[in-house]
Amino acid sequence: MKFVSTRGQSPAISFEDVLLSGPAPDGGLYMPESWPTLDFARLSGNKPNYADLAATVVKHFADRDWFDAIDRHSQDVYARFDDPRVAPIRELSPHRWLLELFHGPTLAFKDFALQLLAPLMDEALARRGTRALVVAATSGDTGAAAVAALAGRANIDLVVLHPKGRISDVQRRQMTTATASNVRNVAIEGTFDDAQSLVKQLFADQAFARTHRLAAINSINWVRIAAQAAYYLATSLAFDRRPLTFSVPTGNFGDVFAGYVGKQLGIPIKRLIVATNANDILARAITSGTYARGAVHATLSPAMDIQVASNFERLLYEANGRDAATVRTLMETFAAKGALTIAPSALAAIQSLFIADCVRENETVATMKRVARDLDLLIDPHTAVGLTATRTAAEADDVVTLATAHPAKFPEAVELATGRKPELPERLRPILTAPERYETLPNDIQALKAHIAHQ
Ligand SMILES: *Cc1c(COP(=O)(O)O)cnc(C)c1O
């Protein structure tokens, strides 16, 4: 399988290249040049476990020389999740379920993709006889998942920047208590946007990026998206392929786009609900056709406090009949004006599958409270956004909400809503007392470059 850029001005690349790539050189995102389809008869005949399904999905996008590695790493990483079903499904009420995506090492769904991406990247680097330095900015979950996935890798070093004092203790400790020598944490005296901007500046300095072999693991990496499509498949099979609607708490549009990928692979998906918090750029775009940047609001679901949803470009590419010239014009307009307008035919295509819903803070709190009271169940605020948005589906539709994080990752919000404090799973308790290691740096690119060059 080859991968092409959504903006059409970069050469097509291989699976192995895409494994190690960020955005395409023309500024676009990589997409498979055509959609493969799953062979369901063969799949269900083999009684697959979760790891088999994940490997099957990813292999549909890979070249044959990667099949063994994908199989091997998939079995290895999903066996380490703390539930043998990996992504268990919990019934809440008639026609309503939760898909628990928080049984990985860092209690958020990002483990599903990063746990698999990390060993594949490491192997790609080994095949090429080279190393990479992954630099990532985090508002919490991505950093922890990256540390857990990359710690101890032979060919990858990791530097994670977090905004000093602006992430929860649990989130910080998940990163800073790592003992592997290839992991470094930096607290930036600034906001998440400052940290993100520093990372962008590092990559923009091409000489620096080359010298230090900078690499990214952000949610635009195709292999992350493909790995996430696997839980849509696993869920569909668990329901004997009856058509399902999924409600997906959305920030960067990665997770819900993985659902779209699943649909292209042949999974019967009726609707995808794009559930946003007050940062509603996607809800506005899908409802009105105008994708316009707004101010970022801090909410109880911080992993979704995003205004520009990178992966949305992939949907624009699809909805515009894969016409790269149209995408290029749209994205240039967006860069210049902070807004773009989706053509009516493309919007109709989007609306035939996606429903969007913007959930307010008081509604998120009310949902957490109701679920705690009626079902004796604590859910995290991101999951609560998704569950609230199921109100957009018909009562008789079968709706699965993606539970993207464990409630113990967001204890303050859960306690505020329910009066109950979620317990950290046993296996994570050591981080509460383990020694932390991190440097503090000013919000200054020269200081960061010096810090990286110094190692
Ligand atoms: C990252 C994250 C999201 C948003 O996922 P996207 O792929 O960016 O849309 C939702 N919930 C949690 C808990 C997350 O960590």
Q: What's the pLDDT tens digit per position in 4-47?
A: 999 999 999 999 999 998 889 898 999 999 999 999 988 877 78
Q: Is the pLDDT of residue 421 over 90?
A: yes
Q: Indicate the DSSP class of residue 108.
A: B
Strand (E) or helix (H) holding 238: helix 222-238
Q: Is the pLDDT of residue 200 over 90?
A: no
Residue 113 lies in a domain: no
CATH of the domain at 280: 3.40.50.1100
Which residue has the least CA distance to atom 8 on ligand 1? Answer: 252
Residue 216's pLDDT is 81
Distance between Cα 254 and ligand 1 center (Å):
8
> What number does the ligand 1 atom closest to the CA of 258 have?
7
Query: What is the tens place of the pLDDT at every residue in 422-455?
Result: 999 998 999 999 999 999 999 999 999 999 998 7
CA distance 255 to 405: 13
Residue 455 lies in a domain: no
Check if 108 has its Cβ closer than 6 Å to any atom of ligand 1. Answer: yes
Closest-CA residue to 59 (of 87, 80, 84, 38): 38
Among the ranges given (101-105, 194-198, 446-450), the one the predictor scored with the smallest mean pLDDT: 194-198
Residue 169's pLDDT is 87
Distance between Cα 376 and ligand 1 center (Å):
24
Residue 191's pLDDT is 84
Residues pairing with 161 in the sheet? 137, 186
Residues 6+ apart with CB under 8 A from 244: 235, 236, 268, 269, 270, 398, 399, 400
CA distance 402 to 254: 13
Distance between Cα 454 and ligand 1 center (Å):
33
Residue 313 lies in a domain: yes
Which residue has the least CA distance to atom 2 on ligand 1? Answer: 303
Residue 253 domain boundaries: 89-104+223-418
Closest-CA residue to 424 (of 407, 436, 412): 407
Evaluate the CA torsion angle 238, 115, 119, 229 in order and state its sign. positive
Check if 124 has its Cβ closer than 6 Å to any atom of ligand 1. Answer: no
Q: Is the pLDDT of residue 306 over 90?
A: no
Residue 166's pLDDT is 84
Higher-confidence residue: 196 or 314?
314
The reply to whether 110 belongs to the active site is yes
Which pLDDT band holds residue 213 (cuts at 50, 70, 90)? Answer: very high
Q: Into how many domains does the chain fold?
A: 1
Query: What is the tens place of the pLDDT at every residue in 126-157?
Result: 999 999 999 999 887 899 999 999 999 999 99
Distance between Cα 320 and ligand 1 center (Å):
26
The one catalytic residue among 110, 164, 263, 409: 110
Q: Judge whether 177 and 143 are in contact, CB under 8 Å.
A: no
Distance between Cα 248 and ligand 1 center (Å):
9
Check if 303 has its Cβ closer than 6 Å to any atom of ligand 1. Answer: yes
CA distance 113 to 234: 15
Residue 24 lies in a domain: no
Which residue has the least CA distance to atom 14 on ligand 1? Answer: 303
> What's the rounded mean pLDDT across residues 167-188?
94
What phi and psi, each to the nearest 5 degrees, are found at residue 184? Answer: -130, 140
> What's the rounded mean pLDDT across residues 261-283?
97
Residue 344's pLDDT is 98
Residue 82 lies in a domain: no
CA distance 29 to 221: 8
Distance between Cα 278 and ligand 1 center (Å):
14
> What's the rounded mean pLDDT across residues 413-421?
97
Identity (one letter) of the amino acid at 117?
L
Residue 342 lies in a domain: yes
Which pLDDT band holds residue 320 (cuts at 50, 70, 90)? Answer: very high
Query: What is the tens place of the pLDDT at every residue in 106-116?
Result: 999 999 999 99
3-state percent helix, strand, coil for the chain, nearest multiple of 5: 45, 15, 35
CA distance 176 to 320: 44
Residue 323 lies in a domain: yes
Check if 404 has its Cβ closer than 6 Å to any atom of ligand 1. Answer: yes
Distance between Cα 309 and ligand 1 center (Å):
11
Strand (E) or helix (H) holding 179: none
> What number does the ligand 1 atom closest to the CA of 254 have?
7
* Collapsed DSSP state (helix, strand, coil) of residue 21: coil
Residue 149's pLDDT is 97
> What number does the ligand 1 atom closest to the CA of 382 have?
11
CA distance 177 to 194: 23
Which of 43-47, 306-310, 329-333 ranks highest by mean pLDDT?
Answer: 329-333
Check if 255 has its Cβ closer than 6 Å to any atom of ligand 1. Answer: yes
Residue 294 lies in a domain: yes
Residue 266's pLDDT is 98
Mutation test residue for ligand 1: of 114, 224, 312, 404, the one with most atoms within 8 Å of CB = 404
Q: Is the pLDDT of residue 218 over 80?
A: no
Check if 249 has its Cβ closer than 6 Å to any atom of ligand 1. Answer: yes
Check if 167 has its Cβ closer than 6 Å to any atom of ligand 1. Answer: no
Check if 219 has its Cβ closer than 6 Å to any atom of ligand 1. Answer: yes
